[in-house]
């Protein structure tokens, strides 16, 4: 039983949403010299507040421990770059943004988004707590402040005459243990006529898609429209629009302003999505309490498929080293007995080892040398991008395994035939994985 209280309303947390055992920090990648050191594992247990239905983890480590030196650089995903460039074009046109009004992004990472505003002549400022990532942004010419964001940072910037006409936060709200301090800072920093947009993984997508791998220690909260409306309203900020997005397996982008601002006007999409969440049971505790059993079944299905592959002599390599992949591997107990190694396009991860499983992270070119039978796509949310980049594994009959939301096996030489292949179907094929790994068709 947790002694923690809801970070939104202060209610005692009494109900478990998902218990994923114990796990190291998902972005705690190991250097070679650390392989003989013990790793620290923490409970990975998500609770749901029965009052406002905010799903959340207890804070096992402070943000300064998790985010000061960060391995994730946003610019290495072409899918994500296309997504944010579309956003830049759309928001400039929709709100007739002027180039002399400041645009500020919280958790701006390596300048992946602000670079597109800057190229269009806008004044930009990034706020990024990870020193190594902020330095990468500055190397691109993106002005970046290396600080954690909250009311103190906002007051300092406001004292310098900096208030945002557009305030942006992509995939940061879930990473904040002090939600009220963070949103209080947004209130301070936002110009009187300013607007803000925030993107975050949608709790409804997590529940419907059994996306338990999106639960890890740096994600302190799991957000619905129902919960974030209450959060912003507590700070006299009002949401006026919302979009459902395909990113990260299903996300929301909310648009907000000061509650007293006369415009922009509220759209009907807010009410429609609120009705959709309520119809899906996101205001009913029973919905959350049933999730844990579905997670266990998803784990069993994936393990059955991998066991069948290994029993037939198949060789598996993991593609990608995302934080969500580390939750999946550690919770399911998938280590070197299943997967030989991992690859990642980011040079910042190559040469390191995955936390917990300690799989080596290599350059994707290693796959040409070892010719595995299967690539297990850990960043399944960008599977189309991965399959396009790695289609050449079809030269030796290689296939992709997509673990979520349903286990599927997809031939590299015919990716449009995305046929779900559970363990029973795998066994019926009678494939000789051993010979195919040597190049036989």
pLDDT for residue 420: 39
Q: What are the tens digits of pLDDT across the range 387-424?
A: 999 999 999 999 999 999 889 999 987 654 443 344 33
pLDDT at 439 over 50: no
Q: In terms of CATH, what superfamily is 300-436? A: NAD(P)-binding Rossmann-like Domain (3.40.50.720)
Q: How confident is the model at residue 153 (pLDDT cuts 50, 70, 90)?
A: very high
Q: Could you tell me the two tokens for 102?
A: 């400041």
Q: How confident is the model at residue 435 (pLDDT cuts 50, 70, 90)?
A: very low
Average pLDDT of span 126-147: 94
The string of DSSP codes covering 304-331 is HHHHHHHHTT--EEEE---HHHHHHHHH
- Global pTM exceeds 0.75: yes
pLDDT for residue 422: 40
Give residue 203's Cα distance to chain centre: 12
Residue (of 278, 273, 237) closest to 255 by Cα position = 237
pLDDT at 63 over 90: no
Q: How confident is the model at residue 75 (pLDDT cuts 50, 70, 90)?
A: confident
Q: What are the tens digits of pLDDT across the range 253-275?
A: 999 999 999 999 999 999 999 99
Q: Could you tell me the two tokens for 236?
A: 């006299």
Q: What are phi and psi of 193, to 5 degrees?
A: -105, 15
Average pLDDT of span 201-225: 96
Share of the chain above pLDDT 90, in %: 83
Q: Which helix (H) or strand (E) holds 21?
A: strand 15-23
Average pLDDT of span 236-241: 98
Share of the chain above pLDDT 70, in %: 91
Looking at the chain, the domain(s) classified CATH 3.40.50.150 span: 65-288
Q: What are the tens digits of pLDDT across the range 302-356?
A: 999 999 999 999 999 999 999 999 999 999 999 999 999 999 998 989 999 999 9
Is the domain defined by 65-288 classed in CATH 3.40.50.150?
A: yes
Average pLDDT of span 19-25: 96
Check if the beta carbon of residue 328 is closer than 8 Å to that of residue 334: yes
Q: How confident is the model at residue 168 (pLDDT cuts 50, 70, 90)?
A: very high
Give residue 23's Cα distance to chain centre: 17
Give residue 403's Cα distance to chain centre: 16
Looking at the chain, the domain(s) classified CATH 3.40.50.720 span: 300-436
Ranges assigned E (strand) in 248-334: 251-258, 316-319
**What CA–CA distance (Å, rounded) separates 125 from 104?**
5
pLDDT for residue 436: 30
């Amino acid at each position: 039983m947790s002694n923690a209280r809801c970070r939104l309303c202060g209610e005692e947390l009494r109900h478990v949403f998902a218990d994923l055992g114990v796990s190291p920090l998902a972005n705690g990648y190991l250097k070679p010299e650390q392989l003989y050191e013990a790793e620290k594992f923490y409970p990975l247990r998500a609770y749901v507040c029965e009052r406002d239905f905010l799903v959340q983890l207890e804070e096992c480590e402070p943000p300064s421990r998790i985010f000061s030196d960060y391995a994730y650089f946003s610019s290495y995903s072409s899918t994500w770059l296309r997504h944010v460039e579309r956003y830049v074009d759309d928001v400039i046109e929709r709100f007739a943004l002027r180039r002399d009004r400041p645009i500020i992004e919280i958790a701006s990472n390596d300048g992946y988004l602000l670079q597109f505003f800057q190229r269009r002549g806008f004044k930009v400022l990034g706020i990024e707590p990870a020193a190594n990532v902020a330095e990468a942004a500055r190397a691109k010419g993106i002005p970046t402040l290396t600080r954690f964001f909250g009311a103190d940072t906002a007051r300092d910037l406001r004292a310098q005459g900096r208030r945002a006409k557009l305030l942006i936060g992509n995939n940061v709200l879930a990473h904040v243990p002090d939600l009220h301090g963070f949103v209080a800072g947004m209130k301070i920093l936002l110009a009187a006529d300013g607007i803000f947009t925030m993107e975050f993984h949608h709790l409804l997508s997590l529940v419907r898609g059994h996306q338990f791998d999106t639960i890890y220690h740096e994600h302190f909260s799991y957000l619905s429209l129902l919960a974030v409306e209450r959060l912003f309203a507590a700070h006299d900020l009002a949401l006026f629009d919302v979009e459902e997005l395909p990113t990260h397996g299903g996300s929301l982008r909310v648009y907000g302003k000061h509650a007293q601002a006369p415009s922009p006007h509220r759209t009907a999409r807010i009410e429609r999505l609120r009705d959709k969440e309520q119809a899906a049971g996101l205001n009913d505790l029973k919905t959350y309490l049933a999730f844990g059993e579905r997670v266990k079944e998803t784990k069993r299905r994936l393990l059955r498929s991998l066991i069948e592959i290994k029993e037939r002599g198949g060789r598996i390599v993991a593609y990608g080293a995302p934080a969500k992949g580390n939750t999946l591997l550690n919770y399911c107990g998938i280590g070197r007995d299943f997967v030989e190694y991992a690859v990642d396009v980011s040079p910042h991860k190559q040469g390191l080892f995955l936390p917990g499983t300690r799989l080596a992270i290599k350059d994707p070119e290693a796959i040409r040398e070892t010719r595995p039978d299967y690539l297990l796509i850990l960043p399944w949310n960008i599977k189309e991008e991965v399959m396009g980049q790695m289609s050449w594994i079809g030269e030796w009959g290689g296939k992709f395994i997509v673990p979520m939301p349903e286990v599927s096996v997809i031939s590299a030489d015919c990716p449009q035939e995305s046929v779900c292949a559970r363990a029973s179907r795998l066994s019926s094929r009678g494939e000789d994985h051993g010979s195919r790994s040597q190049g036989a068709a």
